[in-house]
Amino acid sequence: MKILYLITKSEIGGAQTHVGQLVKFFVQNNHEVVVMSLPGGWLENEVKNIGAKFVPNIYFSNNLNPVRFFYAIRIIKELVEEFKPDLVACHSTAAGFIGRITIRNSVPTIYTAHGWSFEPGTPFWRRFPGILAEKYAANFCKKIICVSKNTRRIGIKFRIANQDKMVVIYNGIEKSDLQKNVENSKLKIIFVGRFSKQKNPELLIRAASRLPNNLLKQIEILLIGNGQKTYLINNLIKLNKNLFVKIFPSVNRDGIIQLLQDSDIFVLSTNWEGLPYSILEAMSVGLPVIATDVGGINELVDSSCGFLIERGDVEGLQKALVNLILDKELRKKMGENAKKIIEDKFSMDKMLLETEKVYNAVMKNKI
């Protein structure tokens, strides 16, 4: 089978990790794979290292400028004509929309919704256009893979497509045998994500700054990421001189896993999500999790492995931090439970095999 993947950006991120996993699996199973994306990021290198072909589309953008839109469509058409794929798999909002309305099911097409552009918590001005765009584009794919039950539930609520068209396949991650080998002199609290309105990293800084001094002396905060809120984050750190914070603006995938392994508590204070890989990775190495109860996160995190807080809840995050900082045995127990949840429910093998099943069924016109 010849498979074409379309994804907007090549930077390190959950959707890119997902596509990288799929590309590796299908290449290893003797399928011919081509990936089209914006060039210059982690995924481009990963695809080339796997042995698949990467085709840049410099006009892919989350900002659908009409000129960029026109040229992005033209490049997709040229690639489809040259490669002649048997199946097209679209990922991420912009490439997912452009790809579907360009190909229009002339080649069997699947769209993976890693979260909707109109999720609760997204900016209001994005929601109505996002709903209209997704409803229209849904006409031009055979199946929509939703990364969580919540993603499917929202799709049904807003009548994006017929219920039968949407199937849930959880994101998966490879089983980790990594163990925490040493005790840190200070508890390391780690955040992984873009410094953006969506990921809301400043909530962690604000919550930690409210901790009593005796607890502040016991912790350090690691922020893995960068983005439009970098200036704000740096200013918050300067204002809270008792906080010990390290920022890692550019870390590769292996480096992120190493930092997770060396940490004690994982925090994701995001405003909206699908099913974030950052939490999967943190749980896979045995970290207890504090996360906002948005998207499909509560399908992944429960009271056995962490704490769920409301969106923007500084006090709730502060209380969860206190509980985990003070209770070593709770951290250990939750970390062990987190690893088990990943192994039982969110394995990469399960995700890959379920995805392959959908691909094959689409090709055989069974769904």
DSSP state of 94: H
Which DSSP helix (H) or strand (E) runs through 365?
Answer: none
Output the six-digit token pair for 209: 């700054």
Which CATH number characterizes residue 359's domain? 3.40.50.2000
Domain residues for the domain of 6 are 2-172+347-363
Q: Are residues 113 and 225 in the same domain?
A: no
Judge if 153 and 15 occupy the same domain: yes
> In terms of domains, do 140 and 195 share one?
no
The verdict on pTM exceeding 0.85 is yes
Cα–Cα distance between 42 and 187 in angstroms, integer? 30
Identify whether residues 157 and 270 lie together within a single domain: no
The answer to whether residue 182 sits within a structural domain is no
CA atoms within 13 A on the CB side of 72: 28
Inside any domain, residue 158 = yes
**What is the pLDDT, as a whole number, of residue 181?**
54
Element (H, E) at 126: helix 124-137
Q: Are 137 and 97 in contact (CB under 8 A)?
A: yes
So what's the pLDDT on residue 65?
83
Q: Answer whether 242's CB lies under 8 Å from 216's CB.
A: yes
Paired tokens of 11? 């930077």
Does residue 30 form part of some domain? Answer: yes
* Residue 228 within a domain: yes
Q: How many domains does the chain have?
A: 2
pLDDT of amino acid 62? 83
Say whether both 328 and 255 belong to one domain. yes
Sequential pLDDT tens for the chain (367 residues): 999 999 999 998 999 999 999 999 999 999 999 999 999 999 999 999 999 999 999 999 888 788 999 999 999 999 999 999 999 999 999 999 999 999 999 999 999 999 999 988 888 888 999 999 999 999 999 999 999 999 999 999 999 999 999 999 999 998 777 665 557 789 999 999 999 999 999 999 999 999 999 999 999 999 999 999 999 999 999 998 889 999 999 888 889 999 999 999 999 999 999 999 999 999 999 999 999 999 999 999 999 999 999 999 999 999 999 999 999 999 999 999 999 999 999 999 999 999 999 999 999 875 5
88 is a domain residue: yes
Q: Which two tokens stand for residue 78?
A: 């040229």
- By DSSP bridging, strand 245-248 and strand 289-292 are unpaired
Structure tokens at 326: 């003070």
Please tell me whether residues 319 and 354 are part of one structural domain. Answer: no
Helix 277-284 to helix 253-261 angle (10° resolution) is 50
Flag whether 180 is in a domain: no
Q: Are residues 311 and 325 in the same domain?
A: yes
Which helix (H) or strand (E) segment is 234 a member of? helix 230-239
Reading the block at residue 18, the tokens are 């997902």
Check whether residue 329 and residue 353 sit in a common domain: no
Residues contacting residue 185 through CB under 8 Å, at least 6 positions apart: none
Specify whether 127 is located in the same domain as 15.
yes
Domain identity same for 301 and 325: yes
Q: Note whether 250 and 155 are same-domain residues.
A: no
Residues 130, 168: Cα–Cα separation, whole Å:
21
Domain identity same for 249 and 143: no
**Which two three-digit tokens encode residue 17?**
């990790």
Residue 178 domain-assigned (yes or no)? no
DSSP-derived secondary structure letter, 63: S
Q: Does residue 179 lie within any of the structural domains?
A: no
CA 147 to the chain's CA centroid: 10
